[in-house]
Amino acid sequence: MKANVKDLRSARRRLGYTLRDLEKKVGVSRQALSAYERAKYPPREEVWERLKTVLKLDGTVTDYWGRTAQSGKVRKYADDAECYIKGCHEHPVSMGLCRKHYQRIRYQRMTHGTSPEIEETGTAG
């Protein structure tokens, strides 16, 4: 049987722990513990090891959440998507831009308070 994040809450309740009790035993905030139970995000490996011990669970983070804390967010763009700057064929990371173009705009906004005009060749103006 595959493990489920809901097993976390049921294990906590089965042992009679509140989130406050678990917070003291594991050393993680109640807000983080609640987020783990609601499958908002997975815990780091060292936190998972302490949770497993306290709640008497087995398995890995991937068994429960389907990903690790280090795997990052779900990809937002399709695998074949490209930066919207003409001539740039890099994969977009944010706002439809590749990392290079996104960082250029971000730096310009932080230092000058404006967005640069990006030429069709992919260079900042």
**Could you tell me the two tokens for 12?**
């906590």
pLDDT digits (tens, 9 = 90+) for 34-83: 999 888 888 988 999 999 999 999 888 888 887 777 665 556 677 788 88
What three-state secondary structure class fits 124? strand
Q: Do both 59 and 93 map to the same domain?
A: no
Percent of the chain residues topping a pLDDT of 90:
30
Q: Do both 95 and 116 map to the same domain?
A: yes
Q: Do both 19 and 33 map to the same domain?
A: yes
Q: Do both 109 and 84 map to the same domain?
A: yes
Question: Residue 113 is part of which domain span?
Answer: 75-120
For residue 74, what pLDDT is reported? Answer: 52
> How far is the C-alpha of 15 from the C-alpha of 13, rounded, in Å?
5
Residue 17 lies in a domain: yes
> How far is the C-alpha of 44 from the C-alpha of 76, rounded, in Å?
23
The amino acid sitting at 109 is R
